[in-house]
Amino acid sequence: MIFETIPVGPLSVNCYIVGCEESREGIVVDPGGDVDAIVALVQKHGLKIRTIINTHGHFDHVGGNREAVVSFGARLLIHQADAPMLGRSAEIARAYGLQGENSPEADAHLVDGLEVPFGTCHLKVLHTPGHTQGGCCLYFEKEHIVITGDTLFADSIGRTDLPGGSHEQLLESIRTKLFTLPDEVVAYPGHGPETTIGHEKACNPYF
């Protein structure tokens, strides 16, 4: 499986480009900005992007959705609870003194347990509310990889002081959906470096 990380946008969101080596079908996760750079990396690998996934609806993760959808001709997926945020991302970005662009509406919604195929690869959606009500993680079981969005970070967790956030709910999501994964699974967060589930279970100061 092809797996690339590229920090994008003013808040350095980790955008993930994931592809099937056999079919060259791929997905893009959280195109928060700098879509030209995302397109260049996709072209480098010769991928056909059929699906764009947002781990949650915050403006820094969805800011490049419109340009990415047009560039790739791909469908857009997000959890239904966060779908209303897509049309407000420019407004929210301005509140932080940043420029942003509203996203088009989602073509379909993520639900817990949904499997998303691309070529011979697939991912499983883990609904992990707490940072937002629609926050989701993406588990690639065969490859021992999970994309955690802003749910879990290296030695930290997502903030819960924004609308829709809940500290208790986030901790419960991590305990029941992420800490039940094998220790060797590598967790790739929405910001910052990767970690492992085993390390976070043993060392994360929030647990």
* pLDDT computed for residue 71 by the predictor: 97
**What is the C-alpha separation between 187 and 84, in angstroms, rounded?**
27
Give the fold, CATH level 3, of 2-203.
Metallo-beta-lactamase; Chain A (3.60.15)
> Tokens for 179?
């800490």
Residues 133, 81 contacting (CB under 8 angstroms): yes
Q: What is the pLDDT of residues 47-94, one digit of tens each?
A: 999 999 999 999 999 999 999 999 999 999 999 999 999 999 999 889
Enumerate the H helices of the chain as residue ranges. 35-44, 59-62, 65-72, 89-95, 167-173, 197-203
Q: What is the pTM of this model?
A: 0.97
Q: What is the pLDDT of residues 178-203, one digit of tens each?
A: 999 999 999 999 999 999 999 999 99
Q: What is the pLDDT of residues 66-75, one digit of tens each?
A: 999 999 999 9
Q: What is the pLDDT of residues 125-173, one digit of tens each?
A: 999 999 999 999 999 999 999 999 999 999 999 999 999 999 999 999 9
Q: 137-159 b/e with 16+ CB inside 10 Å = b?
A: bbbbeeeebbbbbbbbbbeebbe
98 band by pLDDT with thresholds 50, 70 and 90? confident
User: Please, what is the Cα angle at 31 between 21 and 152, to 5 degrees?
Assistant: 90
Residues of the chain with pLDDT > 70, as a percent, come to: 100
